[in-house]
Amino acid sequence: MVSIDPTTARELLEGVIAGFAVLGGIMAYFSGYEASKALAEDQPPDTIAQCINEGLGVGFDLGARAAIVTLMIMGWN
């Protein structure tokens, strides 16, 4: 039977939460950035929605990498 130390489990959970927070923040930043650019250019709503979706994709791509790094940093501390 494998015993799990509560302290280690808590640290892992904190690292996972921090990673998801970084991922969500980066996705929100890029979607908002793309939306603001589209609004500044007076784009129609369909185009703005597409820009938001593309920003979410870019944010997820970069955010996933940053989330992994965050999890590793939290694990080392």
Backbone dihedral region of 44: left (phi > 0), alpha (psi from -120 to 50 degrees) or beta?
beta
The pTM of the full predicted model, rounded to 2 decimals, is: 0.84
Residue range(s) defining the domain that contains residue 56: 32-72
How many structural domains comprise the chain? Answer: 1
Look at residue 66 and tell me if it is in a domain.
yes
Region 10-34 average pLDDT: 94
Q: Is pLDDT above 80 for 71?
A: yes
Average pLDDT for residues 25-47, to the nearest whole number?
A: 96
Please report whether residue 62 resides in a domain: yes
- Backbone angles phi and psi of 44, in degrees to 5: -70, 160
In the predicted structure, residue 77 carries a pLDDT above the cut 90: no
Q: Rounded to an integer, what distance in angstroms lies between the CA atom of residue 2 and that of residue 67?
A: 28
Nearest partner of 41 among 50, 29, 4, judged by Cα: 50
CA distances from 32 to 1, 3, 60 (A): 48, 44, 13
Flag whether 16 is in a domain: no
- Does a structural domain hold residue 56? yes
